[in-house]
């Protein structure tokens, strides 16, 4: 694509999902800027509540929040606002990362010189098994952007500079974050992605013993605070911020953390996109397909152990599972060994497959 010198280009990204989905969508930002120019003005359509991820990001011009993706174009104030803006200032590129048909009508009518989209099959149906969502988005973008610019694309976020992390934590010591909860637990659902509470307590003890210079900070939502309190009960030096932070504050805390240990959660993707080392414990989820992918300067691994019936997300096995043994067999010692590697950012594959155990 030939651009005129000094001409500022405009782009629109559509990815309206939960926290992790939204972070995955940032994969295309840097390739777009490399393609159209670093001064490109980028608009983004996100789910309501995700605005805080981008309000401080100089790469993003307009954030369009949407409550219901399925509302038809003519009845959706958000979609109509995007359409009106495109008539006033046509886009040079629109990238629709939604795999549903919810934005198909908008995509047809929006003014843009170039449009790139996924198919309208059900979510992830066209993503080959084992291909990470991030790599899939890079593949989608390469339909219209030079593949050389998409090859090593990864999620990227900007940390809010205005947040005083030391005041939130209460001191200026180096620290690492643990997130004992997860989105299913927070929504009151069967939390098959949870690591046992006893494992979290044991891990806190191992960290306190092996790296006593590091402060331990627990993060999570308000509904996860009781779990965090139980994890920290025997360790008075642990700081529990579960339910005490806004999204920008959480981003800043993660950005300055030496590492994050979590399960299959949205914060794992946020931290990875902020270049913070991440260890994500996986059991029922597809570690290769949905594990965290680090930004160019970051480090992230998903650790899992095969017991014969996992991964099982979106299968009949998951519906009948009452004992998430696949999470239990990843031990605190396994995670502590990886944490030693994370703190030094030693090279590792994006997925650590521990020795299998018969189910």
The verdict on 22 and 111 lying in the same domain is yes
224 found inside a domain? yes
The verdict on 85 and 131 lying in the same domain is yes
Residue 23 is predicted with a pLDDT of 98
The predicted model gives 347-351 an average pLDDT of: 92
Residue 119 is predicted with a pLDDT of 62
2 found inside a domain? no
What is the count of structural domains for the chain? Answer: 2
Q: Which of 241, 242, 274 is nearest to 257 (CA)?
A: 274
158 found inside a domain? no
More confident residue, 183 or 17: 17
Residue 319 is predicted with a pLDDT of 83
CB neighbour class for 296 (10 Å; exposed up to 12, middle 13-18, buried from 19): exposed
Stated pTM of the model: 0.93
22 found inside a domain? yes
Give the pLDDT band of residue 179 (cuts 50, 70, 90).
Answer: very high
pLDDT tens per residue across span 85-97? 999 999 999 999 9
The verdict on 104 and 181 lying in the same domain is no
Owning domain of residue 80:
10-150
5 found inside a domain? no
Q: In whole numbers, what is the pLDDT of the chain averaged over residues?
A: 92
Alpha helix (H) ranges present in the chain? 19-25, 29-36, 77-88, 104-109, 133-141, 147-150, 165-169, 183-186, 197-210, 225-232, 247-256, 266-273, 287-290, 316-320, 325-328, 332-344
156 found inside a domain? no
Residue 268 is predicted with a pLDDT of 97
The verdict on 236 and 278 lying in the same domain is yes
Which CATH number belongs to the domain containing residue 191 in this structure? 3.40.50.2000
The verdict on 221 and 346 lying in the same domain is yes
The verdict on 332 and 224 lying in the same domain is yes
The verdict on 125 and 261 lying in the same domain is no
Q: How far apart are CA 283 and CA 235, in angstroms?
A: 27
Least confident of 48-57, 176-185, 280-289, 341-350: 176-185
Residue 189 is predicted with a pLDDT of 59
The verdict on 77 and 220 lying in the same domain is no
Return phi, psi of residue 198, to 5°: -65, -35
The predicted model gives 188-194 an average pLDDT of: 75
157 found inside a domain? no
Return phi, psi of residue 268, to 5°: -65, -40
Return phi, psi of residue 279, to 5°: -115, 115
100 found inside a domain? yes
Give the pLDDT band of residue 182 (cuts 50, 70, 90).
Answer: confident
pLDDT tens per residue across span 272-331? 999 999 999 999 999 999 999 999 999 999 999 999 999 998 888 888 888 899 999 999
H or E segment at 97? none
pLDDT of residue 267 exceeding 80: yes
Residue 121 is predicted with a pLDDT of 40
The verdict on 204 and 93 lying in the same domain is no
The verdict on 267 and 300 lying in the same domain is yes
Q: How do strand 260-262 and strand 175-178 relate by DSSP bridges?
A: parallel
The verdict on 128 and 172 lying in the same domain is no
Q: How far apart are CA 83 and CA 43, in angstroms?
A: 12
The verdict on 292 and 320 lying in the same domain is yes
């Amino acid at each position: 694509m030939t651009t005129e010198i000094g001409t500022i280009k405009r782009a629109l990204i559509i990815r309206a999902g939960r926290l992790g989905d939204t972070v995955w969508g940032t994969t295309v930002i840097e390739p777009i800027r490399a393609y159209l120019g670093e001064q490109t003005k980028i608009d983004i359509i996100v789910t309501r509540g995700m605005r805080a991820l981008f309000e401080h990001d100089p790469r993003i011009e307009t954030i369009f929040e949407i409550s219901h993706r399925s509302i038809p174009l003519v009845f959706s104030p958000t979609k109509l606002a995007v359409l009106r803006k495109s008539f006033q200032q046509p886009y040079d590129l629109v990238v629709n990362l939604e795999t549903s048909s919810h934005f198909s009508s908008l995509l047809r009518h929006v003014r843009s010189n170039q449009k790139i989209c996924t198919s309208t099959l059900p979510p992830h149906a066209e993503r080959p098994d084992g291909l990470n969502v991030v790599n899939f988005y890079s593949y989608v973008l390469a339909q219209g952007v030079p593949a050389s610019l998409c090859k090593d694309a990864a999620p990227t976020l900007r940390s809010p500079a205005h947040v005083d992390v030391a005041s939130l934590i209460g001191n200026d010591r180096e620290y690492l974050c643990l997130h004992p909860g997860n989105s299913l637990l927070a929504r009151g659902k069967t939390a098959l992605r949870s690591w046992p509470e006893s494992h979290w307590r044991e891990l806190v003890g191992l960290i306190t013993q092996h790296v006593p210079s590091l402060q331990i900070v627990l993060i999570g939502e308000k509904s996860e605070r009781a779990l965090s309190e139980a994890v920290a009960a025997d360790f008075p030096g642990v700081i529990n911020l579960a339910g005490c932070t806004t999204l920008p504050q959480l981003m800043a805390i993660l950005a300055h953390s030496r590492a994050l240990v979590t399960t299959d959660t949205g914060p794992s993707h946020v931290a990875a996109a902020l270049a913070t080392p991440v260890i994500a414990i996986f059991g029922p989820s597809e570690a290769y397909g949905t594990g965290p992918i680090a930004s160019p300067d970051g480090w992230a691994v998903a650790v899992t152990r095969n017991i014969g019936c996992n991964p099982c997300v979106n299968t009949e096995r998951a519906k009948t599972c009452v004992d998430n043994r696949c999470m239990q067999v990843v031990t605190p010692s396994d995670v502590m060994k990886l944490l030693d590697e994370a703190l030094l950012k030693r090279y590792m594959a994006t997925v650590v497959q521990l020795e299998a155990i018969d189910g």
